[in-house]
């Protein structure tokens, strides 16, 4: 019976590639499912052999700890250099896009509240 090891929904391609490489390097037999044509299926990595579950979970846990540390260090390095993108930088980079998003959010809130009061609480 197949065992769900790791869901790939919302996972960056770089991370998914590293996890596939890690499992292949440690000779863990797995297969991958994709989201399908409409994106409604579950993209995931599945194990074929239930006896490799503990080993694979341990490897994933170690990998995620490593990835957390490396990504955190990269973020802090960018923050120290002043290269990370803040909300204000996003606004000043493209104020029309930012304003457009705010307008759409306001419109959605207005329509939602208006319909709520028209149909009653």
pLDDT for residue 88 is more than 90: no
**pLDDT at 121 (0 to 100):** 62
The CATH number given to 1-84 is 3.30.70.1530
The string of pLDDT tens digits covering residues 65-79 is 999 999 999 999 998
pLDDT for residue 1 is more than 80: no
**pLDDT at 23 (0 to 100):** 95
Strand order in the sheet with 30-33: 3-7, 44-47, 30-33
**pLDDT at 118 (0 to 100):** 85
C-alpha to C-alpha distance for 20 and 31, rounded to whole angstroms: 9
Q: Which residue has the higher pLDDT, 40 or 58?
A: 58
Q: What is the pTM of this model?
A: 0.69
């Amino acid at each position: 019976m197949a065992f769900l090891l790791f869901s790939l929904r919302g996972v960056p391609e770089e991370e998914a590639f590293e996890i596939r490489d890690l499992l292949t390097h440690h000779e863990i037999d797995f297969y991958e499912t994709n989201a399908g044509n409409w994106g409604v299926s579950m993209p995931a990595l599945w194990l074929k052999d239930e006896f490799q579950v503990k080993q694979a979970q341990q490897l994933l846990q170690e990998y995620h700890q490593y990835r957390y540390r490396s990504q955190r260090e990269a973020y802090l390095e960018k923050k120290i250099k002043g290269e990370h993108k803040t909300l204000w930088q996003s606004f000043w980079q493209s104020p029309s896009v930012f304003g457009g998003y705010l307008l759409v959010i306001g419109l959605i809130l207005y329509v939602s509240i208006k319909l709520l009061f028209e149909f009653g609480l």
